[in-house]
A = this chain, B = another copy of it.
Amino acid sequence: MTRPLQLHPDRLFPADKTSRDIARRLYESVVNLPIISPHGHTDPSWFADNQPFGNPADLLIKPDHYVFRMLYSQGVPLQSLGIPGREGTPAETDPRAIWQKFAEHYYLFRGTPSRMWLDTVFHDVFELDVALDGDTAELYYERIDSWLKKPEFTPRALFERFNIEVIATTESPLDQLPHHQKILDSGWGGRVITAYRPDPVLDPEFEGFADNLRKLAEITGEDTGNYAGYLAALRNRRAYFKKFGATSTDHGHATATTANLSRSEAEALFNRVAGGDASAEDAELFRGQMLTEMARMSIEDGLVMQIHPGSVRNHNAWLFDHYGRDKGADIPSRTDYVHALQPLLDAVGNEPDLTIILFTLDETSYSRELAPLAGHYPALKLGPAWWFHDSPEGMRRFREQITETAGFYNTVGFNDDTRAFLSIPARHDVARRMDCNWLAQLVTEHRLPEDEAFEVAQDLSYNLAKKAYKL
């Protein structure tokens, strides 16, 4: 017996009729706004080459660590999802078998945002009207696989259909951005910009750091063997990225540690780090120092700075050894901001023309640290609920714990932070619905007049992201 797949028009709205009606009205005013996607991980080659996406498993399962982390947690081996081990453990190669395995475990996603995003993709993009399970897996596979070959499902066609006004990808400073060049050369009107993610050349513990410095020297013609040359090389690449539309940088450190060393201390630290004999403390301090340097460069060149701390990467040593990184084993940990950011804020926190956007995986910092900091320092803004918290309950907690101290205007709208291109409309839709839900609650409780709520809804869905990211 197949079950229907339905997306209710009132999904995520409050149960109470008065509030629900307000939420609906607010949502109707923002549902058709273009998507601003200022931070994400889509592959620019999709838009450069505009080739059809692969099969359903390659597109929807293998790259989505939300999906396979849940299956893996319930004992499904990664090989059965087509993910090969590093030592050449044979993995399932039949995409239909992978899809079947996924479908049979789809019930595991009940109550999760992945379920909501995937159902929206199935329903809205592939017009499926029965629910996914073991019995309907084949039907799903056929539909998705065949439709992906149609011209209306190529990356650019979907980009336009999704009403994306601008999307940012994320690249290393070592990337020459050929795909962005190709997009620019193509004359296609879609706005696909890059963002500057310098972790590979800022983090002494990043794989291949020494090599990366060498490559950075080659690309820029600067001498990365000394601190001044290194900084010049970083500046050089920021300018290069700006030519490809970059308006932001992004920094994914394990902690929020920052530092503000004297020039001579910083040079000595760089020499240890570049020489390859940095201790773990040196590495941490260097990352912290470089955040402050990046902020200084942002004052010069206007790039918006994003700081995403708090993830213990590759927590599962065995899995990392056998399958590599990004397999769903990054685990958040407690993150201090109030002390860790002090050196950075001492240096640049009062600059009104600088924008530093903070994200967190530690929700305890929302009301205790982040909202008070962003509600005071001119340079600070708060990014949306992120990663594990990019979900209805996560978004609810974000607004409940942030708004009263930081207000709406120290936040920056939504970003999807995803490589799952097809889910982008679904993700922005969830954010718009949850923001309208929150605003409807404020209106219903007479904490905000309805006419103002309409203005805020526009701001949260569109204006704030454009303004904060200078798009």
Contact = CB atoms under 8 A, between A and B. Distances in A.
A242 to B, nearest CB: 23
Contact of A316 (B345, B367, B442): B345
A445 B113 contact: no
Contact of A333 (B12, B73, B368): B368
A319 interface: yes
A27 B332 CA distance: 35
Interface residues of A, number: 93
Contacts of A380: 73
Contacts of A271: none
A234 B396 CA distance: 48
B369 A333 contact: yes
A367 B363 contact: yes
A70 B403 CA distance: 12
Contacts of A407: 70, 108-112
A452 B338 contact: no
A134 interface: no
A376 B110 contact: no
Contacts of A448: 110-111
Nearest to A451: B3
A340 to B, nearest CB: 11
A332 B328 contact: no
A55 interface: no
A75 B351 CA distance: 8
Contacts of A376: 69, 72-73, 315-316, 328-329, 331
Interface of A: 3, 6-8, 10-16, 18-19, 69-70, 72-75, 107-113, 116, 131, 312, 315-319, 328-329, 331-334, 336, 338-339, 342, 345-346, 349-350, 352, 361-364, 367-369, 371-378, 380, 388-389, 391-394, 400-401, 403-410, 441-442, 444-449, 451-452, 455-456
